[in-house]
A and B are shown apart, each in its own frame.
Chain A
Amino acid sequence: MIQLLRIELYKIFKRPRTYISFGIMTAITFVIQLAMLTDGKTFIGFAMQGINEQFDIQGNILNGYLVTYIILQSLLVQIPLLVALVAGDSLTGEANLGTLRLLLTKPITRPKLVLIKFFSSFIYTVLLIIWLAIVALFFSLLLFGKGDMINLKSETFIMIMQNDVMWRYAAAFGYAVLAMTTIASLALLLSAFADNSIGPIISTMGIVVVLTILSNLQIPLFNHIKPYLFTTHTIGWKGFFDEPVPYAAIARSAMVLILYTLGFLVTTIFYFNRKDIKS
């Protein structure tokens, strides 16, 4: 299994298109950092208008921690897309290349192949999030310096001491890995059903966008189904920036994501194991 996984990762990281995701993420992050460098003070002044009337806040408010938080908020849609680009292509990509039939004429079971594709997508997701942590957090701290972090909410704000921030980011990035793994397993499932790569990638994004809208709609009709939508829980990482941290809610959300991931994975194995390979 380890050797097969190594082969899969070798294939992924030998392919130039893999690095496009890293490039896109770096570009978006740098654009936001640049915007914050030039117009950040105006933006923060506008966002804190109400707060400044009641509180006198001193110090480096526009610091690396806050900018990283803004970047993470901005990448809510982009990261799932970048994950889907690889996971959605994992089985259909082989089918399109014609290598799927060659792979399956080798003594390797189909469930094992699906598991290898899943774990390689997981590792890719981990690396993508680590890269995001480096370019967003490291460079933001380099450009904007440290300071206490202000988490602006609609009606309140939370002040987090700077020596209390780093572990929250570590936990948030860890949670993001889990959330993105759920997206990757959905893309993998759709990849098993489809015969071309574009379909699963677009379908994954379509599902994520529609369910995210449903998760955020303040309409009573949808309130009953919201707790069951995985998109309601993919933003659970924000909980680590609340005070006190809602550990129970975060654990519940993490459990929902794990169940979805396992459900998608088991369905993929079951379906792919019975599929006729005609490509």
Chain B
Amino acid sequence: METIIETRNLSKSFKGIKAVDGISFAIGHGDVCGFLGQNGAGKSTIMRMLLGLIYPDSGSIFINGTEFGNHRRYLLKNVGAIIERPDMYGYLSGWDNLKIFAALSDMKIPAARLHEVLEIVGLKGREKDKVKGYSQGMKQRLGIAIAMVHKPDLLILDEPTNGLDPQGIAEMRALLISLSKDHGKTILISSHLLVEIEQIATSMLIIHKGRKVVEGPVNKLLHPDDSLVEVIIRADSSAVGRLSLSQWQKYLHSTEDTVLTFKMNPGNAPALNKWLVGENIDVLEIRSKHSLEEYFLSLTNDTIIKDRAI
């Protein structure tokens, strides 16, 4: 696949402390890349370097195959971004903010396009209100509108769900999925909400303490067969014994009191449930644990820091 972003040995230090340490990665056209890492891992620094806000100490960035350093202005015409919070001019209306940032995009954007993006992000009818009166969710949506108003191919979104309520998060998720599927945008998105990333990302990049831990397509990194399925049963002293003699024994990952954890494809859960009921083992609950969360925690454990690429 053709890459839209590529970095080579990107490094950055602040006051002698390495924030980003020789990171190389590539993101393909049309990808929704989930960018994960703990607080202070270097995500925002990398995103800022990709946008020319922070200068790398060493290494290179390529956007659409062109080196960023000397072509920043030209390349940014094709990029939309939200970094941390979508802060805007609170004393101006949403429309004014959108118009101002659209005018800074170095291309003529008709009013019809402004109306169109307001419609897409669901702010139609509120555009004349002053931004200081907007909720956090409305500001985030206006931020997305500003990021996409000039029809960029690449969106760089740093924590776009920050401060949103569950309804807002669900709306943002739907918007990002639509931007990817219906509008063909490539999206690099960082978030603390791993469940959200899991639902929208097609590829992932995980960093830890300024170094890349892993990158690759989600379907390869999060293999469904490696998912954890948790089964809560009524106390039964013979249950584990009977399980160890059954075909489910090979999936049994751990047991703790009445909680049995299986490492398997969640699609097998109904068959497992049927077997347990058949064995007169009372099943109180079956749930699939979020595989990305497990995966992320296992990778960002301090003992596991090595480059892995798929």
Q: Give me the interface of A with B, judged by CB distance under 8 Å.
A: 3-4, 7, 10-11, 14-16, 97-99, 101-109, 274, 276-278
Tell me the complex Cα distance, A97–B84, Å: 13
Contact of B295 with A by CB under 8 A: no
Cβ-defined partner of B105 (8 Å) among A11, A106, A274: A106
In the complex, chain A residues whose CB is within 8 Å of the CB of B88: 97, 99, 102
With A11-B92, A104-B51 given, name 4 new contacts (CB 8 A). Answer: A15-B91, A102-B146, A105-B156, A109-B72
Contact yes or no, A99 B92, CB < 8 A: no
Cβ-defined partner of A11 (8 Å) among B52, B81, B85, B89: B89
In the complex, chain A residues whose CB is within 8 Å of the CB of B89: 11, 14, 97, 99
Contact yes or no, A98 B85, CB < 8 A: yes
Contact of B248 with A by CB under 8 A: no
Binds A, one of B96-104, B190-198, B206-214: B96-104
Tell me the complex Cα distance, A104–B54, Å: 10
Q: How far is the CB of A262 from chain B (nearest CB, A)?
A: 24
Contact yes or no, B55 A276, CB < 8 A: yes
Contact yes or no, A7 B54, CB < 8 A: no
In the complex, chain A residues whose CB is within 8 Å of the CB of B92: 11, 14
Contact yes or no, A4 B91, CB < 8 A: no
Tell me the complex Cα distance, A274–B83, Å: 19
Contact yes or no, A7 B104, CB < 8 A: yes
| B251-281 near A? 1/0 per residue, CB < 8 Å | 0000000000000000000000000000000
Main secondary structure of the interface of B (DSSP, over half): loop
A101 and chain B: residue at smallest CB distance: B83
Given A14-B91, A15-B91, A97-B87, answer yes or no on A108-B103 (Cβ-Cβ < 8 Å): no
Tell me the complex Cα distance, A103–B89, Å: 11
Tell me the complex Cα distance, A109–B70, Å: 11
Contact yes or no, A106 B76, CB < 8 A: yes
Cβ-defined partner of A277 (8 Å) among B48, B82, B156: B48
Given A4-B104, A105-B76, A107-B73, answer yes or no on A16-B54 (Cβ-Cβ < 8 Å): no
Cβ-defined partner of A7 (8 Å) among B52, B76, B103: B103
Q: Which of B51-70 contact A (CB under 8 A)?
A: 51-55
Contact yes or no, B48 A108, CB < 8 A: no
Most A CB atoms within 10 A — which of B51, B100, B105? B100
Contact of B79 with A by CB under 8 A: yes
Cβ-defined partner of B53 (8 Å) among A4, A97, A277: A277
Contact yes or no, B91 A103, CB < 8 A: no
Task: Supply 22 A–B pairs (Cβ within 8 Å), ascending by A.
Answer: A4-B103, A10-B100, A14-B89, A14-B91, A101-B51, A101-B53, A101-B83, A101-B84, A102-B88, A104-B53, A105-B81, A106-B76, A106-B101, A107-B72, A107-B106, A109-B72, A274-B55, A276-B48, A276-B55, A277-B48, A277-B54, A278-B54
A112 and chain B: residue at smallest CB distance: B73
Given A7-B104, A14-B91, answer yes or no on A102-B73 (Cβ-Cβ < 8 Å): no
Q: How far is the CB of A66 from chain B (nearest CB, A)?
A: 41
Contact yes or no, B87 A99, CB < 8 A: yes
Contact yes or no, B48 A101, CB < 8 A: yes
Contact yes or no, A276 B54, CB < 8 A: yes
B90 and chain A: residue at smallest CB distance: A97
In the complex, chain B residues whose CB is within 8 Å of the CB of A276: 48, 53-55
Tell me the complex Cα distance, A24–B83, Å: 38
Given A7-B100, A16-B91, A99-B87, answer yes or no on A105-B77 (Cβ-Cβ < 8 Å): no
Most B CB atoms within 10 A — which of A4, A10, A101, A109? A101
Cβ-defined partner of A105 (8 Å) among B53, B91, B100, B103: B53
Q: How far is the CB of B51 from chain A (nearest CB, A)?
A: 5
Cβ-defined partner of A108 (8 Å) among B96, B104, B156: B104
Q: How far is the CB of B130 from chain A (nearest CB, A)?
A: 10
In the complex, chain A residues whose CB is within 8 Å of the CB of B55: 274, 276
Most A CB atoms within 10 A — which of B87, B101, B103? B87
In the complex, chain A residues whose CB is within 8 Å of the CB of B79: 105
Q: How far is the CB of B75 from chain A (nearest CB, A)?
A: 8
Contact of B216 with A by CB under 8 A: no
Given A7-B103, A109-B73, answer yes or no on A104-B52 (Cβ-Cβ < 8 Å): yes
Tell me the complex Cα distance, A276–B76, Å: 17
List 4 tightest A-B contacts by C-beta distance, closest first: A98-B87, A106-B104, A277-B53, A107-B76
